[in-house]
Amino acid sequence: MYYLDKLRKKSNKTKSYQTLVWLFQLTGIMLVCVLNTAQAVPSGAKYFPNVPLLNQDGKTLHFYDDVIKGKIVTINFMFTSCGDSCPLETAKLRKIQQLLGDHVGTNVHMYSISVNPDRDTPAVLKAYMKKFKVGPGWEFLTGKQEDIDLIRKKLGMYSDDDTELNDHAINFAMGNEATGQWLRRDPFAVPETLVAILLGRLQTHSLAALPSYEKTRMLGSAPTGEDLFITRCTVCHTIGGGNKIGPDLQNIVSLRDRKWLKRWLKEPDVMLKEKDPLAYGLYLKYGQVPMPNMRLAEDEIKDLIEYMKNSSKTLNTNTAALNK
């Protein structure tokens, strides 16, 4: 996290640029455009509100200064009396907290904000946290309704159609405020995948190494094939890292018939039902854990295969160079 401190010091010293964040949704991902201006304000402060919130201990935290500034964060919205998705969402996020371990509160900060602040007082939030055995580094926040609605709007997680509490968005935001990179994800995705993003992708793209904000550029999503592999495959597979729940996929593209591989990625459930010899053999070999049907489109299958092929090629080249 040293580069975040360096970036903040640089912002305070020059007092001549600002990182202005524009969030928009594209295929479920919040992309961020990092632009420069000539106003002397801290990075992101012009866009994000600095409204006061109360945490579970009754301590006042300002949203920009205390919650997100210079941090990698996860933010979701919930309410404690929810009998629908919130308890499951909290349980899923608790799993993410467990996987993050000591990174929570240091490299990653977790926040849950109530959309029913009139009922969810700090004491109610604290009891809710105890119920789910929430550990240190994950704070639950409440405040004024209008302030919370404003935060939801700035994160792209508010709709005028949300007439009932149960209508609030269950997606949650993950972001690195210092670099201006924000993503929106479904909390019901594979926890290991979300952890990989928090400790990997969001820890990169630092602006600290750049000579000035004038050199900043748009930070988009990863190439489609890479993003698909990270979000859909890494919980069960590696490329060159050995077997996990499923087999190591290094050189899989050259080892398998291309037609078979495409079908396996498209409809593995059908192939297992048909007891395709290769598919069923893999199923038996790897603990009878079925390959899930990820509902991939034809172009996504093509991109995923291309990514696995290129990654294997790069790994093979690097291995050969090391063995010389």
Average pLDDT of the chain is: 78
Rg (CA), the chain: 22
Give pLDDT tens digits for 81-125: 876 567 777 888 888 999 999 999 999 999 999 999 999 999 999
Per-residue pLDDT, 192: 82
Same domain, 182 and 238: no
Least confident span in 87-96, 100-109, 202-211, 249-258: 202-211
Residues 60 and 167 in one domain: yes
Q: Residue 219 carries which side chain, given as an amino acid letter?
A: L
Domain that holds residue 282: 226-322
pLDDT at 282: 93
pLDDT, position 292:
80
pLDDT at 320: 84
> Who has greater pLDDT, 37 or 188?
188
CATH number of the domain encompassing residue 92: 3.40.30.10
The answer to whether residues 48 and 128 belong to one domain is yes
Q: Say whether both 65 and 205 belong to one domain.
A: yes
Please give the Cα distance from 22 to 177 (Å, whole number). 12
User: Alpha carbon 263 to chain centroid distance?
Assistant: 29
The predicted structure's pLDDT at residue 161:
60
pLDDT in tens, 118-157: 999 999 999 999 888 899 999 999 999 999 999 999 988 8
State how many domains the chain has.
Answer: 2
State the CB neighbour count (10 A cutoff) for residue 61.
Answer: 16
* Range list of H helices, 138-250: 145-154, 191-199, 224-228
User: Are 117 and 214 members of one domain?
Assistant: yes
CB contact set of 194 (below 8 Å; sequence gap of 6+): 96, 174, 185, 187
What length does the chain have?
324
Q: In the prediction, which pLDDT does 197 show?
A: 87
